[in-house]
Structure 1
Amino acid sequence: TAYIGGRCDGVHVQTRSDQCATHARSVPCYSSIGRVEATMGGSYDEVDLEDMDWNAEMGAFTYQCPCGDLFFITPDDLRGGEEIGHCPSCSLVITVVYDAEDLVKIIPEGF
């Protein structure tokens, strides 16, 4: 595995959001699902799932992005353990805070 532009290009587990456990260095490291775990500078904000709006048309929980569009995260993302909400119009992301045990109560029936 090599460092390219100061980041690890390997597939490793991180001990912290900014450190590759394999290299024990504070560099962003690509995860096994292909996204950068460190979100290249962190997330814009941490948002409780309960503070997000349910958008039935999108089939996703949404939160207003400063660019004017919406961050979103789907029920399938949440069930899969995802906690990053993406904005389709800009590079910002949010960290969605939730308790996995509460998903059954929070996710609308049929989704």
Structure 2
Amino acid sequence: MAVFHDEVEIEDFEYDEETGTYSYPCPCGDRFLITREQFMRDEVVAEPLPNKELVKC
């Protein structure tokens, strides 16, 4: 069972032409990443692992 943090439109992501990756800021300070291929396959993007440095703060 998946737990969703939020639903975000692809237009809200930043696109990096060099890597072909869309990114969106995560509340933990990291970034959600998805490739065009993952998006076209309608894949769910997993939450980034928390940055250990942020956890220490």
TM-score range, shorter chain: 0.5 to 0.7
Q: Is the 8 A contact 2:22 2:35 kept in 1?
A: yes
> Where do 5+ consecutive residues of structure 2 fail to align?
51-57
Greater than 4 Å deviation, 4+ residue runs: none
Query: How many equivalent residue pairs?
Result: 50
The whole-number CA distance in structure 2 between the counterparts of 1:88 and 1:55 is 18
User: Greater strand share, 1 or 2?
Assistant: 1
Q: TM-score, normalised by structure 2?
A: 0.67
Please report the RMSD computed on the Cα atoms of aligned residues, expressed in angstroms.
Answer: 1.8
Q: Which residue identity does 2:46 align to in structure 1?
A: H
The whole-number CA distance in structure 2 between the counterparts of 1:63 and 1:53 is 6
Q: TM-score, normalised by structure 1?
A: 0.39
Q: CA deviation at 1:57?
A: 4.4
Q: What are the superposed Cα offsets for residues 11-63 of structure 1, whole Å, 9 maximum, x if unpaired? A: xxxxxxxxxxxxxxxxxxxxxxxxxxx21xx2111101111111234421111
Higher relative contact order (CA 8 A, sep 6+): 2
User: Greater helix share, 1 or 2?
Assistant: 2
Taking only the aligned residue pairs, the percentage that are identical comes to 36
Q: CA deviation at 1:79?
A: 1.9
Q: Please tell me whether residue 67 in structure 1 is matched to residue 25 in structure 2.
A: no
Partner of 1:44: 5
